[in-house]
Amino acid sequence: MTTFDPYAPSRDTTEGTVYSVTGGDWDSLVQEIGSTKEERVVVNMGPQHPSTHGVLRLVLELEGETVTEARAGIGYLHTGIEKNMEYRSWTQGTTFVTRMDYLAPLFNETAYCLAVEKLLGITQDVPERASVIRVMMMELNRISSHMVALGTGALELGAISPMFFAFRERETVLDIFEMISGLRMNMAYVRPGGVQQDLPAGAIPKIRDAVKLMRKNFKDNTTLLVGNSIWMKRTQGIGYLDLAGCTTLGITGPVLRSTGLPWDLRKVQPYCGYEDYNFDVITADTCDVYGRFLIRMNELEQSLRIIEQALDKLEKLEGAPVMVADKKIAWPAQLAMGGDGLGNSLNHIREIMGTSMESLIHHFKLVTEGFHVPAGQVYVAIESPRGELGAQVVSDGGTKPYRMHFREPSFNNLQATSAMSEGGMVADIIGAVASIDPVMGGVDR
């Protein structure tokens, strides 16, 4: 007859004996557990664990330190953005989508606005200067997003200095965003029909200086990590997922390109005039964490190339419009930076209030009600830092979206967690999840 241990009570279940450990003598506890044929432990990683890139919960079944099963639990950051947009005007929708993947706000805005413009039938009417600004801002955003992926990924594997270097470069990009839009994140800068406002005076030289500085500073992380023996041991052969696995699970972005497939929507399905820019699609053939790291590192230089070409185009388009000419869509119409912050220019206010009652009424209706979008549905996809970001927009002909749904790459790519982790060590889950680079704001939207 066995004696009852108040510090380690047990109960028999259909799965075997389950022990509730609250203390007691460790030697006797180990002896009791060792009497079972196999030992499986279920562990929660998250939803508050820093290596889960937000509030991601991983439920792990471990045998020793080997992962036998991994399941991702999501929904802890649910914001209801897609549903909330059904109660906001088309322009207000931009302020919602920018908060989905909060590390890549400009991509969310652009995908949404391209879809709305397609429904409106004004895709070809968007001024070239606006499209060039969108491209430049997206590529700057790709750099800042990759900096977070590379910096936090290195930190989670024990390398602190790369995070300092990565966030130093990210600050450079966020300063540019603040100069152009007034905000560092969640800018709502891209609007249906164009962009919120033109570049401020002196922006192009400042961006050129930033490009030179970043190109020089990017070498710091390359020197630290590429070929580093400790880094290689923690990343090579870890989080393996081949081309068959990626296509089966619908994985896109750097994870897919690490299998050697050069799938990049900027090349295969160009938008915003990407077909007019010279850049390379970076691939690797390792199918592991190290390959995804190399892809993101090398994509930084390609983004700088695109930004330089965009700046050359912007110099030639100086003074060109950045919003469609149709005043029934273009809102806000005449922005200016004044003493009280950003708003409609005083000249514009004087004109609509003092000389044209019709303009005042139209401005009021445009701001309070919004514009009507013809009934129909479209799907538009772009290449975000994490893969294919698609916006499906449905209109019933009103001033608000009837339905909104996003094909969010972080949501799809998280499916790969189990395939990358099961059979490996629990410590390698950290690198695998970091290489997926999921952002939970996009997953839970």
This prediction's pTM = 0.86
Is 167 within a domain? yes
pLDDT band per the 50, 70, 90 thresholds, residue 78: confident
Q: Which two tokens stand for residue 129?
A: 């200067």
Q: Are 169 and 214 in contact (CB under 8 A)?
A: yes
User: Mean pLDDT lowest for which of 129-133, 136-140, 225-229, 396-400?
Assistant: 225-229
- Expressed as residue numbers, the domain containing 59 is 10-73
Q: Residue 319's pLDDT band (boundaries 50, 70, 90)?
A: confident
Q: Point out the domain boundary residue: 26, 51, 73.
A: 73
Q: Which of 24, 39, 73 is the last residue of a domain?
A: 73
End-to-end CA distance of the chain: 56
What is the spatial distance between Cα 396 and Cα 143, in angstroms, rounded to a whole number? 37
Ramachandran sector of residue 72 (left: φ over 0; alpha: ψ -120 to 50; beta: rest):
beta
pLDDT at 336 (0 to 100): 56
Query: Which range has the worst mean pLDDT, 8-17, 95-104, 220-229?
Result: 8-17
Please state the domain count of the chain: 2
Residue 342 is assigned to a structural domain of this protein: no
Percent of the chain at pLDDT above 90? Answer: 44
For residue 433, is it within any domain? yes
Q: Both 65 and 198 in a single domain?
A: no
3 in a structural domain: no
Residue whose entry in the numeric block shows the structure tokens 């129909």: 376
**Given a cut of 90, is residue 158 above it in pLDDT?**
no
**Residue written as token pair 């993101």:** 296
| 132 and 237 together in one domain | yes
Q: Say if 346 falls within a structural domain.
A: no
Say if residue 238 is in the same domain as residue 283: yes
